Amino acid sequence: MPEPKFEVNPSVLSGETADIYFVRTVDILRREGINPVVTMEVFASRPGILCGMQEVKALLEAALPAQSREVWALAEGEPFQRKEVVLRITAPYLSFGAYETAYLGMLGQTSAWATAARECVEAAKGIPVVSFGARHVHPLMAGYLDYAAVVGGCTGCSSIVGAKLAGVPAAGTMPHALILVVGDTTQATLLFDRHTPPEVPRISLVDTFKDEVEESVRVAQALAGRLQAVRLDTPWERGRVTPHLVKEVRAALDLAGFNAVNIVVSGGIDVERIALFLEEKAPVDMFGVGSYVSSARPIDFTADLHMVAGKPVAKRGRLPGITPNPRLKRIM
């Protein structure tokens, strides 16, 4: 994956997104002329897949003085253990003291999403997984969600901004809305085929009006060899997509001569449902995962001062001085 280009939001740099006590602390120390070089270490409350470090790096590059800074970190996408130091910052305290809220949040939210995505990818055992969760978060967070999902192992994501960050094409073809407005699945798919750039996969959504098995064959016949896949997204009101339904669709497509048409499954997909499809040997070619990733509980990251003006320090319950971690690499 190419290195993403994160732009630091002005509200983050101004300190508006910070817990106010950090801003007050910086103000007090600045008024008193106190600004020692310190070492801050960041660790997590539970294991996971690291994400958000590239954005943290962008923030620290904007904040820390170039002549007096040293930053060590684990890489984006690396697994980390509970209480393992993932980030170590050495710089004058006033240069980054107000940003503790920001860099902990950047790591905590996106690492949770990346970790949930990795769980789905591992459960799928080689079957591609695509992130469809952008609709479940605030639009300003959609790009971060999808980027994190790709860091976690998803092969693609649905939001344009997330795909740009991750350096992959945006994934997704047609919604139910197109089919409902046009009034017929086959006609909607033909219109999609007519007006969509050729590099976009021809994937038809086949659960809107008719039986999924019948609709799949009708669409495949209409596109005459151009259809690459059908997507099953049967809602929970009708029992959702089941392993048996996938097998039915596969059998019907094969009997009609469309062996090359793949089957994409979406709608309430999580680790347990992925495991069910594999256990039942359902011939799924791709999973679309949404809320399982987007609703992942944030991972609690903690920042602790361990050195102040060359002196080892620590709050009660923690050990003073640098915490060894040979996996850290210098990034700044």
199, two tokens = 């590099």
86 sits in which H/E element: strand 85-92
Residue 28 CA to residue 31 CA, distance in Å, equals 5
Sheet bearing 129-131, strands edge to edge: 156-157, 129-131, 286-289, 262-265, 229-232, 203-205
In a domain, 4, yes or no: no
182-191: pLDDT as tens digits = 999 999 999 9
Res 5: pLDDT: 85
Res 3: pLDDT: 79
Q: What percent of the chain has pLDDT over 90?
A: 96
Helix (H, G, I), strand (E, B) or coil at 131: strand
Average pLDDT of the chain to the nearest whole number: 96
In a domain, 310, yes or no: yes
Q: Which residue has the tokens 């904007």?
A: 62
The answer to whether the CB of 73 falls within 8 A of the CB of 331 is yes
Spatial CB neighbours of 73, under 8 Å, sequence gap ≥ 6: 53, 56, 57, 86, 87, 88, 328, 329, 331
Compute the average pLDDT of residues 248-263.
Answer: 98
- How many Å is the maximal CA-CA distance in the chain? 81
Q: What is the DSSP letter of 323?
A: P
Gap between the terminal Cα atoms of the chain: 21
221, two tokens = 């016949």
Based on the fold, state whether residues 49 and 133 are members of the same structural domain. Answer: no
269, two tokens = 């997909």
Torsion, CA 87, CA 91, CA 96, CA 102, rounded to 10 = -10
Alpha helices in the chain (DSSP H): 10-13, 20-32, 53-63, 93-96, 100-124, 142-151, 160-166, 176-182, 185-195, 212-223, 243-255, 271-279, 291-294
Residue 153 CA to residue 114 CA, distance in Å, equals 8
Residue 120 CA to residue 154 CA, distance in Å, equals 9
Categorize the per-residue pLDDT at 45 as very low, low, confident or very high, splitting at 50, 70 and 90.
very high
Res 111: pLDDT: 98
Q: Which residue has the tokens 């996971």?
A: 48
In a domain, 116, yes or no: no
In a domain, 26, yes or no: yes
> Based on the structure, what is the number of domains in the chain?
2
Based on the fold, state whether residues 75 and 132 are members of the same structural domain. Answer: no
CATH number for the domain that contains residue 35: 3.20.140.10
Based on the fold, state whether residues 251 and 319 are members of the same structural domain. Answer: no
CATH number for the domain that contains residue 169: 3.20.20.70
In a domain, 120, yes or no: no
268-310: pLDDT as tens digits = 999 999 999 999 999 999 999 999 999 999 999 999 999 999 9
Question: Which among 132, 147, 218 has a CA at the least distance from the CA of 179?
Answer: 218
Range of weakest confidence among 2-6, 30-34, 177-181: 2-6
Based on the fold, state whether residues 281 and 306 are members of the same structural domain. Answer: no
- Judge whether residue 1 has pLDDT over 80: no
In a domain, 117, yes or no: no
Q: What is the DSSP letter of 170?
A: B
Based on the fold, state whether residues 156 and 206 are members of the same structural domain. Answer: yes
In a domain, 151, yes or no: yes
- Judge whether residue 4 has pLDDT over 90: no
In a domain, 118, yes or no: no
Query: What residues does 131 pair with on adjacent strands?
Result: 157, 289
Structural domain for 237, as ranges: 126-294
Based on the fold, state whether residues 25 and 157 are members of the same structural domain. Answer: no
Res 200: pLDDT: 95
Question: pLDDT higher for 4 or 221?
Answer: 221
The answer to whether the CB of 61 falls within 8 A of the CB of 125 is no
